[in-house]
Amino acid sequence: MAADGPDMMVRASGLAKSFGEVEAVRGVDLEVAPGELFGLLGPNGAGKSTLIGMLSTLITPTAGTGAVAGFDIVRERPDVRRSIGLVFQEQTLDRYLTGWYNLKFHAEIYGVPSHEVEERVTRALEDVGLWEERERLAGTYSGGMRRRLEIARGLLHRPRLLFLDEPTAGLDPRSREAIWDRVRELNEREGITVLMTTHYLEEAENCGRIAIIDGGQIVTVGTPAELKAQIGQDRVEIVARDPHTLGEELRTRLGLTPVVQGDTVWFTVAGGRRFVPRVFSEVDAEITSVQVKSPSLDDVFLARTGRGIDGPAPGGAEPQAGGSRR
Ligand SMILES: Nc1ncnc2c1ncn2[C@@H]1O[C@H](COP(=O)(O)OP(=O)(O)OP(=O)(O)O)[C@@H](O)[C@H]1O
């Protein structure tokens, strides 16, 4: 790595991994710049963990190449490992040690110089807001606190890049928010590059850029705003006294394909706000209220993959190839 650091913190080209018949990751190209807070968004089984596993050198790729912090993920494994912090979904803390000793123990095992252990453990606990709780047994921590302790552990060797695999999965909203506060701080204040996976759409909104991954392939990459802008359509929701009549009028007089749900009729259209006056001038049905909603990441996911993030893959277990739906 050059003294001033690599131009890309993560670079993958055609990266692929098969487990027997299962093509978990099918040729991923990805670039993450230093300082980014980057999210991999995809449903269960999309290949997120396998991709992070390859980038963190724990899984050997079947094909393609990758570099992390400027080091090759196959030929320069120790250098990659020194550059990254890893927080995986499985919990591996010792419940019978205090927060402090969990970190001290880890620092010693992983070769942090002994005269630096105290300072690094202190700093890592402060970084995740657990300094006050350092004397408590990890087993008495809440789920959110344990996850923060794991993040602290991932920071002990001062990595430039932090991989977080579903860091908030299974946590309540308050704990999720606390984790996010810390992740944002680490990213903004400390300049640590963060590559995280999530299947929560609202969390993906917090990332600077996201890649939507489905069926082992990246189907689109961009800032949340860019991805939403590409959809180009707003959702107009109209509550009406007689929604079926309104739906029929929207179809026949304005050429729309509205959906009637209860007392609401909705449709998508480019420039929704500018379109609404036309609805009022063209239809006779009585309208109670109108709402225009900009596209959400849910809409982006639907448009890019053909289903909602929690929905089943079309055609059963076989993952959907992204290409045909772009
Ligand atoms: N060690 C393995 N052996 C066999 N198949 C595997 C292995 N690891 C992952 N897979 C399969 O590869 C595909 C991608 O899995 P992966 O765990 O990477 O997805 P994911 O997006 O991280 O999902 P989740 O959010 O559920 O962890 C799945 O079909 C999974 O069953």
Predicted model pTM: 0.80
Q: Indicate the average pLDDT of the chain.
A: 88
**What pLDDT does residue 230 have?**
83
Kindly report, residue by residue over 139-166, the tens digit of the pLDDT.
Answer: 999 888 998 999 999 888 888 999 999 8
Q: What is the ipTM of this complex?
A: 0.95
Task: Give the nearest ligand 1 atom to 169 CA.
Answer: 25
In eight-state DSSP terms, residue 88 is -
- Percent with pLDDT over 90 in the chain: 58
pLDDT at res. 169: 84
Q: 157: CA distance to ligand 1 center in Å?
A: 28
Give the separation between CA 104 and CA 112, rounded to whole angstroms: 9
pLDDT in tens, 6-54: 789 999 999 999 999 999 999 999 999 999 999 999 988 899 999 999 9
Distance CA 182, CA 128 (A): 6
Q: Does any ligand 1 atom lie closer than 6 A to the CB of residue 42?
A: yes
CB of 47 closer than 6 A to ligand 1? yes
What confidence score (pLDDT) does residue 305 get?
84
Cβ atoms 63, 14 nearer than 8 A? yes
CA dihedral 22, 28, 34, 36 (to 10 degrees): -80
User: Using a 6 Å cutoff on CB, does residue 310 contact ligand 1?
Assistant: no
Confirm or reject: Cβ of 17 under 6 Å from ligand 1.
Answer: no
> Residue 41 forms beta bridges with which residues?
198, 212
Q: Give the pLDDT score at 186.
A: 87
Q: How far apart are CA 207 and CA 201, in angstroms?
A: 10
Half-sphere CA count of 285, side-chain side, radius 13 A: 23
Atom of ligand 1 nearest to the CA of 166: 25
Q: Is 35 exposed, middle or buried (0-12, 13-18, 19+ CB in 10 A)?
A: middle
- The answer to whether 250 touches 265, Cβ cutoff 8 Å, is yes
